[in-house]
Structure 1
Amino acid sequence: MLIKISQCCKPVPGDEVIGFITTGVGISVHKATCPSLLATDPIRWVEVNWSGDIQGRHRTELFLRAEDRKNLLADISSLISSDDADVVEFSSRTTAENIAEFRVVLEITDRDHLQKLLVHLQQMPDMIEVRRR
């Protein structure tokens, strides 16, 4: 049976997950708290677990808000790199209130790797918000 990782919530090893039986596509794996999953019929849910030896890189998406300043982007990029995560997608904007907002899609190894990165990002000077999407 085909199993795919859902792109709406991008679960990573260590997340609590639930499978959703799709029509003709197999099982889509979602975080247990995924709004898209929670809006579906629970009769189509199936118990799934991460296998014990998950290796490789997994995508996750973060939202960051910080007071805009010189070298902010370079500092964020350097921190992500030093925590051994890879940036796959990146977009940013600055609000009228001089707040920089970033959407970052990263490749990480597992939930522990992600948690370490989140803590380091939250400790950055001028960082207002760091959250997983």
Structure 2
Amino acid sequence: SALQKELQKQQPGKGGSLGKVVERRTRRKPQSAILIGGIDNVMVRFANCCNPLPGEPVTGFITRGRGLTVHAKNCPQVLASDIDRRVDIEWDMQRKTTRPVKIQVVCSDQKGMLVGISGAITNADANICSASVHARGDEKGTNLFEIDVENLEHLNRVIREIKKVKGVNRVERIKN
């Protein structure tokens, strides 16, 4: 892969921004659940544009000075990028981690909806990081939640639980 070739050319700390990224990363505890062709200690960040979750097909993009950015494989931003800077990566499904994801819930504007929705999220074993609730004036409410989920399957379970709540009209994942 392009990342492996670049790493073979450079010794960590001996010139080149990628070498510095690798050296700096070795001092930190590994936090990502990403496998990069068997290479460890690469600084990894997740793209805000598509916010990929474990279980979704992903691709890596080598950024200048910031290591590797993980994108969903079908992300328009990565599809429009330089193909030579893309690398094959995959999720390390053995590592248990959570990722934040935003969901929007459109529902009836009635008493008890927030309790029902938050209960459904809890029943699906997800944590609510933030919530925003708005009455729209057309007897509907729009709720935006940021929740922590383990993977795509977990997100789908949360969505199914929320859809069971009486008065919920629509639930969808929000990508930036």
Gaps of 5+ in 1: none
Residue 40 of structure 1 corresponds to which residue in structure 2? 81
How much is the aligned-residue C-alpha RMSD, in angstroms?
Answer: 1.6
TM-score calculated relative to the size of structure 2: 0.69
Structure with the higher fraction of residues in strand conformation: 1
- Runs of 4+ residues over 4 Å off in structure 1: none
Superposition pairs of residues 93-108 of structure 1, within 5 angstroms: 93-108=134-149
- The residue identity in structure 2 corresponding to 1:76 is I
Structure 1 residue 132: Cα displacement: 0.9
Which has the higher mean CA deviation after the structures are superposed, 99-108 or 52-61?
Answer: 52-61
- One of 7, 21, 28 as aligned partner of 2:48: 7
Q: Please point out which of 58, 70, 77 is paired with 1:17.
A: 58
CA separation of 1:93 and 1:35: change in aligned 2, threshold 3 A: farther
CA distance in 1, matches of 2:145, 2:82: 31
The residue that corresponds to 2:26 in the other structure is none
1:120 paired with 2:122, answer no
Q: What is the distance in 2 between the residues matched to 1:37 and 1:103? A: 26
Q: Pick which of 28-37 and 49-58 moved more.
A: 28-37
Unaligned runs of 5+ in 2: 1-41
Q: CA deviation at 1:117?
A: 1.1
CA distance in 2, matches of 1:82, 1:27: 35
Cα 1:90/1:40, change in 2 over 3 Å: farther
CA distance in 2, matches of 1:62, 1:132: 4
Q: Distance in 1 between matches of 2:133 and 2:74?
A: 26
The alignment of Structure 1 onto Structure 2 pairs a total of residues equal to: 133
Pair 1:90-2:90 in alignment: no
Q: Give me the identity figure in percent.
A: 26
CA distance in 2 between counterparts of 1:68 and 1:35 reads 35
Deviations 1:32-73 (A, max 9, x none): 233443443334322110013120222111111111110101
Provide the rounded CA distance (Å) in 2 between the counterparts of 1:125 and 1:106: 21
Which of 97, 102, 115 is the aligned partner of 1:56? 97
Larger radius of gyration: 2
Tell me the residue number matched to 1:77: 118
CA contact (8 A) 1:13 1:54 kept: no
Matched-pair contact (CA < 8 Å) for 1:64–1:101: yes
AA partner of residue 70 (structure 2): V
